[in-house]
Structure 1
Amino acid sequence: MQLPKHLKIAAGSAGAAIFGVLFGWVIFPAILKSQLKKEMALTAKTDVRQMWQKIPFALDFKVYLFNYTNAAEVQKGAIPIVQEVGPYYFEEWKEKVEVEDNDAEDTVNYKKVDVFYFKPEKSGPGLTGEEVITMPHPFMLGMATVVYRDKPAMLNMIGKALNGIFDNPEDMFLRVKVLDVLFRGLTINCARTEFAPKAVCTALKKEGPPGLILEPNNQFRFSIFGARNGTVDPKVITVNRGKKNVMDVGQVLAVDGKDKQELWRDHCNEYGGTDGTVFPPFLTEFDRLQSFSGDLCRSFKPWYQKKTSYRGIKTNRYVANIGDLANDPDLNCFCEAPDKCPLKGLMDVTKCVGAPMYVSMPHFLDSDPSLVQNCKGLNPDVNEHGIEIDFEPISGTPMVARQRVQFNMLLLNTDKLELCKNMPNTYAPLFWVEEGLALNKTFVNMLKHQLFWPKRAVGVIKWMLVSFGTLGALAGAVFHFKGRVRAGA
């Protein structure tokens, strides 16, 4: 039986509508998901692997230091008054080296190397890096604090050692050029022959604390970032490639072959989350992201905050903070003991960094109010000092990221050390850093070409097929039944 022309059109239109539904809501999403699973894996031939291994653009690395304007008074017990100086802007180039794949385990091993370049033109107005600031002496104060904690009976000898190495310092403060303390380094004179300085220098040479570089003639050079600049980090990191399961991509599995740390208590020793340079795709606002920070030896769990957009691409914003270790069961194991936690917003990272440091959010944002009250000149602002990352949810790509952390030390008060006998015993901010990225136009356009323009084109096509197919089918049906009604009349 030959169908009338209008019924053929109606059937074809209905078929087009059905195809539009199947293609637009079933077939294409399945193809897209399958393709993303392949492209997001850290296997040797994917674009993601190439970017993960060597980020093809510099990250923003900004350093803000605190200049102490009343050092003499603080030495006598006064509350510090600080003035923020910065930002000092550096380009940070990240690369993974000595990369080795393990196909059987679907893992990849690597070491990290970071290179920094100072850019005065992008720094704060007029800043050259030659500015002289006054700050608590991180080396002297650190040495005194470690001995006070671990071997208090040796404090008297440490006092003599500090006098010998630093030529009888008047206080616990350092007057230094910014680039010297950050990268170029300060000389630690270990050429002394007296017993105390010689014993301390021998211990330094043996233990190799962070920030120290041994030079000829028994000299050390100390800086905050200098030893890290352009140097391969000896730690071997093992992460999941995500070929078998893309949702596991970038998950940290081990460091130096160990699947757990030995620094904290209980589950805080676990490596939770990715290495922070790649994230799984298909994120929703209900997902709890997680990444492991090797610099702080802990995992962070940013939480969803709100919908955002970047250069025309819809994104999800996630935020994070240091947390309240005393009152958060998930974080309490970062404390020395359940009842020995630092104040809210502080974390003792001595075991991680090898120096008696406490980290917080800049200006003690989201921290115990007493921390701000005990240091004048701080103005915490969530927009300036918060941690935030904007993710493109389908691919899991970080579009904009601002990771900020402040490093602090305790202004140790003890009668057993002359330089510390009147110190206020409060937490003193030394500096804070912002490590950030904002994908440039080239990479945003690449993402649009490879993901969003095909997705939008399919979106238009599927609605056209469904709309015109449905209209065609309805029109054909109406015409058919209208014709039958007329024929019956």
Structure 2
Amino acid sequence: MLGKNAKIFFLGSVCLLIASIILAAWGFPKIVGLQIQKSVQIENSSLMFEKWRKLPMPLTFNVYLFNVTNVQDINSGMKPLLQEVGPFVYKEYRERTILGYGENDTVRYTLKKTFVFDKEASGNLTDDVELTVINYPYMAAILTANSIMPSIVGLLNSAMGPFFSSEQDPFLKVRVNQLLFDGVYLNCSRNSSALALICGKLKADKPPTMRLAEDRSGFYFSMFAHMNNTDIGPFEMNRGVEDVRQLGHITSFQDMTVMNQWGDPYCGMINGSDATIFPPIDEKNVPNRLYIYEPEICRSIFASLVDQRVMFNMTTYYYEVDKMALASKSANPDNKCFCDKNWSSNHDGCLMMGLINLKPCKNAPVIGSFPHFHLASEELLNYFAGGIKPDPEKHNSFVYLEPTTGVVLKGFQRLQFNIELRQIPMIPQLENVTSGLFPLMWVEEGATIPDDLLEELQDSRRLLDYVETARWMLLVIATFSCIIAAVCVVRSTGAHVWPRRSDFHLRPGNTIVVNKSR
């Protein structure tokens, strides 16, 4: 009876061990993976859905402006001396409106951003302070006219006075709130053929930085008013229900699967997420690059894997935008399709290292770069007498990703807007300046995960750790049960390590004696 029970115990232990091995090697990871997918996918019932639809905390939108301190010197041909002023801090709220669900596991939505000036975070800075900056709309109009018909530039310049109210040089005294959101008024009501040409061009091109006045008498120029309280899109994005590895991937923008501004399918490729949501990372196949699609520059950009780093006592993957993202054509031939083929007859339209021509995207001759020309050609730095100093710690773009859920623990995108200050002899304001790329401002957009969401994530991680511990504990228990059962079976069959004989005994003196049969 004992032997039969031991064999049943052994058989059950073997079955338990096999089940434990299957669960440890496949079952637990599969179950945990499915639960994570259900939590992060864009589905009404998921934990992530409402946080994705309306971000539970505002992003930080910091603006740094370059105040020009030696205007007269620049007008006489000397190097610019700049003073960085900032950050002017804004809270950026994001809310999505669901328009419907499409084929291939996609969700269709619009995104609305709302910017609110944060007085406390801005410290002593107020958004009504007046600064002197490069006159972006003036230079944009002059450079655009010069590229189309150089012979009319002088006539066009004569109309700039009434257009800008008063204009003595290529610099502008402006309040920060005007430049960023409220708008600088540009007057189109004067009777001038040259002015009519400028205003007609603006009406035709509709650059996003120009807002037509309600009475249609002119325009308001501002850098970000078109982004504020305005529905952007529509976007189509993969929900990650059918394949969590595709979660967050943007498949179209404004009903286009390829951005046609660049005239090339590679450069126009819509690739990556919107930088707020990423799929969980497979530890066996960690991606070397993360792609982000940014509508404001009409292109996707990538961040490269640097290493693993610990943040908030969690292991994360750290990605950073490197020099290859905005590399010159000579350094990265793939970037040749970002060159402006219509730049001029004596220029191939390709820029130096660390720059991107945003004219096809913005309908204005603006040049993008990283702040303070970080990762750009040193030739750009030589143009300035001071105020430009790239610092990787302050000016890089990066993201820390928690691999199990794909949650962004910390991330910032940084971009600088520049325009060329060009010497043009036929224009009095520009006849003595030294040509060079002139920065207007740089911005950083991002956030660090707030404490309440961090605590929620850490609780989830602890639960996963418990599950992982239980996974291996079950295997260990099953293994020991199998060993114990095997011992019981051996004992129950009558096998003994020491033979049982009647003539076997110990004599005094601890001597083992085996009596022989007579």
1:418-471 CA-partner distances (Å, limit 9, x unpaired)? 22222221111111111011111221232233x423321122222323334434
Aligned residue identity for 1:289:
L
> Equivalent residue of 2:387, what SS?
coil
Give 2:224's aligned residue.
225
Task: Name the TM-score, length of structure 1 as normaliser.
Answer: 0.91
Are the structure 2 counterparts of residues 207 and 119 from structure 1 closer, same or farther at C-alpha, using a change threshold of 3 Å?
Answer: same
Say if 1:210 and 1:353, in contact at 8 Å, map to a contact too: yes
Distance 1:55 1:425 in 2: 44
Say if 1:42 and 1:242, in contact at 8 Å, map to a contact too: yes
Q: Per-residue deviation at 1:475?
A: 5.2
Q: Per-residue deviation at 1:4?
A: 7.5
Aligned residue identity for 2:392:
V
> Equivalent residue of 2:375, what SS?
coil
Aligned residue identity for 2:62:
K
User: Given the alignment, which residue of 195, 202, 205 partners 1:204?
Assistant: 202
Distance 1:281 1:358 in 2: 35
Q: Per-residue deviation at 1:362?
A: 0.8
User: Given the alignment, which residue of 247, 253, 261 partners 2:251?
Assistant: 253
Aligned residue identity for 1:303:
S
Distance 2:165 2:254 in 1: 41
User: Given the alignment, which residue of 394, 416, 420 partners 1:384?
Assistant: 394
Say yes or no: does 1:213 pair with 2:211: yes
> Equivalent residue of 1:220, what SS?
strand
Are the structure 2 counterparts of residues 8 and 117 from structure 1 closer, same or farther at C-alpha, using a change threshold of 3 Å?
Answer: same
Residue pairs, 1:429-444, within 5 angstroms: 429-444=439-454
Are the structure 2 counterparts of residues 93 and 283 from structure 1 closer, same or farther at C-alpha, using a change threshold of 3 Å?
Answer: farther
Say if 2:62 and 2:88, in contact at 8 Å, map to a contact too: yes
> Equivalent residue of 1:42, what SS?
coil
Give 1:317's aligned residue.
318
Say yes or no: does 1:328 pair with 2:332: yes
Aligned residue identity for 1:328:
N
Are the structure 2 counterparts of residues 198 and 340 from structure 1 closer, same or farther at C-alpha, using a change threshold of 3 Å?
Answer: closer
Are the structure 2 counterparts of residues 469 and 108 from structure 1 closer, same or farther at C-alpha, using a change threshold of 3 Å?
Answer: closer
Aligned residue identity for 2:213:
E
Say if 1:64 and 1:88, in contact at 8 Å, map to a contact too: yes
1:244-281 CA-partner distances (Å, limit 9, x unpaired)? 32222222222232221212234111212223332222
Structure 1 unaligned segments of length 5 or more: list them.
none
Say yes or no: does 1:361 pair with 2:365: no
Are the structure 2 counterparts of residues 150 and 50 from structure 1 closer, same or farther at C-alpha, using a change threshold of 3 Å?
Answer: farther
Distance 2:478 2:32 in 1: 24
Q: Per-residue deviation at 1:385?
A: 0.7
Give 1:416's aligned residue.
426
Task: Name the TM-score, length of structure 2 as normaliser.
Answer: 0.86
Q: Per-residue deviation at 1:365?
A: 0.9
> Equivalent residue of 1:330, what SS?
helix
> Equivalent residue of 1:268, what SS?
coil
Are the structure 2 counterparts of residues 462 and 167 from structure 1 closer, same or farther at C-alpha, using a change threshold of 3 Å?
Answer: closer
Say yes or no: does 1:484 pair with 2:495: yes
Say if 1:16 and 1:465, in contact at 8 Å, map to a contact too: no
1:88-137 CA-partner distances (Å, limit 9, x unpaired)? 111001122352222x44222222211000012101x4111232211101
Distance 1:302 1:198 in 2: 45
After TM superposition, the structure 1 stretch with the greater mean CA deviation from structure 2, 222-231 or 53-62, is 222-231
> Equivalent residue of 1:301, what SS?
strand
Aligned residue identity for 1:270:
M
After TM superposition, the structure 1 stretch with the greater mean CA deviation from structure 2, 479-488 or 205-214, is 479-488
Say if 2:248 and 2:278, in contact at 8 Å, map to a contact too: yes
Q: Per-residue deviation at 1:303?
A: 1.1
Max Rg structure = 2
Aligned residue identity for 1:274:
S
Residue pairs, 1:55-66, within 5 angstroms: 55-66=55-66
1:136-190 CA-partner distances (Å, limit 9, x unpaired)? 0111111111112223232122201112222441100011122221122222122
Give 1:166's aligned residue.
164
Are the structure 2 counterparts of residues 150 and 252 from structure 1 closer, same or farther at C-alpha, using a change threshold of 3 Å?
Answer: farther
Distance 1:266 1:292 in 2: 15
Aligned residue identity for 1:310:
M
Give 2:505's aligned residue.
none
Distance 2:246 2:497 in 1: 65
Distance 2:426 2:47 in 1: 59
Q: Per-residue deviation at 1:228?
A: 2.2
Residue pairs, 1:332-347, within 5 angstroms: 332-337=336-341, 339-347=348-356
Aligned residue identity for 1:277:
T
Give 2:462's aligned residue.
453
Say yes or no: does 1:129 pair with 2:127: yes
> Equivalent residue of 1:269, what SS?
coil
Give 2:106's aligned residue.
107
Say yes or no: does 1:27 pair with 2:31: no
Say if 1:94 and 1:114, in contact at 8 Å, map to a contact too: yes
Say if 1:21 and 1:462, in contact at 8 Å, map to a contact too: no
After TM superposition, the structure 1 stretch with the greater mean CA deviation from structure 2, 247-256 or 429-438, is 247-256
Give 1:348's aligned residue.
357
Aligned residue identity for 1:334:
F
Q: Per-residue deviation at 1:323?
A: 2.3
The structure with higher relative contact order (CA 8 Å, sep 6+) is: 1
Distance 1:478 1:249 in 2: 51
After TM superposition, the structure 1 stretch with the greater mean CA deviation from structure 2, 474-483 or 90-99, is 474-483
Say if 1:401 and 1:438, in contact at 8 Å, map to a contact too: yes
Size of the alignment, in residue pairs? 485
Distance 2:364 2:349 in 1: 19
Distance 1:121 1:22 in 2: 56
Say if 2:10 and 2:486, in contact at 8 Å, map to a contact too: yes
Residue pairs, 1:287-306, within 5 angstroms: 287-306=288-307
Say if 2:320 and 2:397, in contact at 8 Å, map to a contact too: yes
Q: Per-residue deviation at 1:15?
A: 5.2
Give 1:371's aligned residue.
380
After TM superposition, the structure 1 stretch with the greater mean CA deviation from structure 2, 301-310 or 359-368, is 301-310
Distance 2:59 2:302 in 1: 22
Aligned residue identity for 1:181:
L
Are the structure 2 counterparts of residues 148 and 98 from structure 1 closer, same or farther at C-alpha, using a change threshold of 3 Å?
Answer: farther
Distance 2:198 2:288 in 1: 50
